[in-house]
A and B are shown apart, each in its own frame.
Chain A
Amino acid sequence: MNQPQDDERRWQLWGLNSPQQALHNKQRWKLWEPVLWLLALASPWLLASHALIINEIAIVALFAVSLDLILGYTGIVSLGHAAFFGMGAYAAALFAKLVMPDPLVGLLFGMAVATVLGAVCSLTIMRGSDLTRLMVTLGVALILMELANKLDWLTGGADGLQGVVLGPVLGRFEFDLQGQVAAAYSIAVLIVLFVLARRLMHSPFGATLTAIRDNRLRAMAIGIPVTARLAVIYTIAAGVAGAAGALLAQTTGFASVDVFAFDRSADLMLLLVIGGTGWLYGGVAGAIVFKVMQDAISSITPQYWTFWMGLFLVVLVLVGRERLIRPWTWFGGKKK
């Protein structure tokens, strides 16, 4: 019956006094994190000629963080996350066109619309197996894509929604052609939402999500309201995805049905897995790797870059991500 002492000793072995401290340490900001974000914020000027792709990376990273909230932390598989992305994009674009051109208000509007959609859709993911969830999420995205395609008086149909003109950010910074302001704007939004997501995931709320992911039955048994938690996190993730979509529409001044496309959801899942799920930086890292790789490969073979992407995926899964990013373990036998 010396279990508690054993536990205590184990914690001391790790240089910690208690589980609480372990949790605190996990959520404490590391030194490299603010440095990284400051660098990111400066990158549009440091790498001025690449501002456009930096903007894209920031948007995709935000989108990936949103998927990570439900996939990595909660274990809800989704092949239709683009539904919320696209909803945010169209909402923001239409808002800028019809109501007012201020980007921040438009961003909030896009997020709000996507959040509402997420709340409605969260009803659809409660039951069934992984396959059911894959299909339902995919179906929602496809229906929205059809809607955007068919409601051409509102959305411009297959031609896309054009002529979205935005005012300056905060009434001061005009969007420039080079995309520096756009990139900085996207990165700033990414940072704000990332910090919020980080805070949320390290809260007791986040811990319950991880518990649900790891063992739903047990989570239920210790009194976690599973259904409510799933609904809430799905709604939040939808809002974040909507923000990413709104950023895309605002910084490119354009929204097309392509924002709902299946490829987008599939690519997103792929890059999240490259970066690592259940780790918020995974989405960011994956976005950088994926976009840079896409850019590099498609400049070599513009038409067939999906082949190499596919090959990469297959190898990634077969070898295992853990081993692929640690080449020194390749020839070490089964040691570690």
Chain B
Amino acid sequence: MLTILFDGIAYGMLLFILAVGLAVTMGLMNFINLAHGAFAMVGGYITVLLMQRLNVPFLLCLPVAFVGSALLGAVLERTLYRPMYKRPHLDQVLFSIGLTFMAVAAMDYFMTSSQQIIQLPEWLKGRTEIGDGPWMLGMGHFRLFIIAICAALTVGLQYILAKTRFGSRLRASVDDQRVAAGLGINVNVVFLLTFAVGSGLAGLGGALGAEVLGLDPSFPLKYMIYFLIVVAVGGTSSITGPLLAALLLGIADVAGKYYVPSFGAFIVYGLMIAILIWRPQGLFVRTGGKA
């Protein structure tokens, strides 16, 4: 039972890292980016390629995946995304679905459609068990590793958003672009950086999640829905909302699959619909910003 909770938390943490970039672009910048999963996929494939072809150690791959996806995100933001910010949501949805289709087909073409496997280093393979009976807690080392990284990132992100000058600039730009620009904040650069970091985090999540979630070209489509749930349910007030939503989703999904496998995905979707009907803006709502 505790094991399930543990796995659920690990899964939720992973989802959070994958989705936090989306939470920022969607919640703060008000841009519906369905192509977010594509960046995660890119990160995952970078890791796979580096490890399989060049034998780079796993730990080194993670930052590379981050930087690679972030660069890609920055380039795309500058060239393609920026003109889309002001467009209606429908255009944004179509545009990003189009990008996702392209990414999926391109990956399929270059990497074949088979599932990619990551060889974890030995020290991440083990499993520690504490206690016994129904309260036994089995912790896979890799899951522990994921939780540690994600927790560190969460604290870091929260710090950057809440305490640093960049964080306050970002929040100002989001609340009112024109006034922020009038105060001398370079809104474009702020958004560019934010988007790049968000994509980079997705890439990192993809690299971490390649082993847990599985990695194949349909990844962006398969998990896009989960990311969207995290953001929609979590709301856009801060990153704690998406974090809680991701944890809730992760635990509900793992527990649901374990206890009532015949219900499958019902729990997750049902929960989402119930929450969204109850609180349409998500669990945590940001107030005071300009819609």
**Chain A residues within 8 Å of B, Cβ to Cβ:** 71, 77, 79, 123-124, 127-132, 134-136, 138-140, 142-143, 146-147, 149-150, 262, 266, 269-270, 273, 277, 303-307, 309-314, 316-318
Contacts and interface: CB of A to CB of B under 8 A. Distances in A.
A124 to B, nearest CB: 6
Contact of A146 (B26, B87, B266): B266
Contacts of B262: 150
B280 A143 contact: no
A309 B101 contact: yes
Interface in B254-290: 262-266, 269-270, 272-273, 276-277, 280-282
B281 A266 contact: no
Contact of A134 (B98, B99, B228): B228
Interface string B221-241: 100010011011000000000
Nearest to B264: A146
Given A139-B273, A303-B108, A317-B87, A129 B98 contact: no
Nearest to A142: B269
B241 to A, nearest CB: 13
B80 A314 contact: yes
**8 pairs of A and B residues whose beta carbons are closest in the complex:** A128-B280, A313-B98, A310-B101, A307-B105, A310-B102, A127-B280, A317-B95, A314-B98
B280 A313 contact: no
A316 B101 contact: no
Given A124-B273, A129-B280, A135-B232, A318 B83 contact: yes
B108 A128 contact: no
Given A124-B277, A310-B105, A317 B228 contact: no
B94 interface: yes
Given A132-B276, A310-B98, 20 more contacts: A71-B90, A77-B93, A132-B280, A132-B282, A134-B32, A135-B229, A135-B272, A136-B276, A146-B266, A146-B269, A149-B264, A150-B263, A270-B97, A309-B101, A310-B99, A310-B100, A310-B104, A313-B95, A314-B99, A317-B94
Nearest to B89: A130
B264 A132 contact: no
A126 B36 CA distance: 27
A139 B98 contact: no
A336 B155 CA distance: 52
Interface in B64-101: 80, 83-84, 87, 89-91, 93-95, 97-101
A138 B282 CA distance: 16
Contacts of B100: 310
Contacts of B109: 303-304, 307
Contact of B102 (A147, A149, A311, A316): A311
B25 to A, nearest CB: 12
19 contacts: A127-B277, A128-B280, A128-B281, A132-B232, A138-B225, A139-B276, A140-B273, A146-B269, A147-B266, A277-B90, A307-B101, A307-B106, A310-B97, A310-B102, A310-B104, A313-B94, A317-B84, A317-B87, A317-B98
A316 B93 CA distance: 12
B98 A312 contact: yes
User: Main SS of chain B's interface residues?
Assistant: helix
Interface in B172-230: 221, 225, 228-229
Contacts of A312: 98
Given A306-B105, A317-B98, A131 B264 contact: no
A123 B95 CA distance: 29
Contact of B232 (A123, A131, A270): A131
B32 A130 contact: yes
A140 B99 CA distance: 25
A139 B269 contact: yes
A317 B87 CA distance: 9
A143 B32 CA distance: 23
A308 to B, nearest CB: 8
Contacts of B221: 262
Contacts of A129: 280-281
A311 B99 CA distance: 7
Nearest to A321: B91
Nearest to A312: B98
Contacts of B80: 314, 318
Given A139-B273, A306-B101, A269 B281 contact: no
A269 B91 CA distance: 10
Contacts of B87: 317
A270 B94 contact: yes
Contacts of A266: 97
Contacts of B83: 318
Contacts of A304: 105, 108-109
A131 B101 contact: no
A253 to B, nearest CB: 28
Contacts of B228: 131, 134-135, 138
Contacts of A270: 94, 97
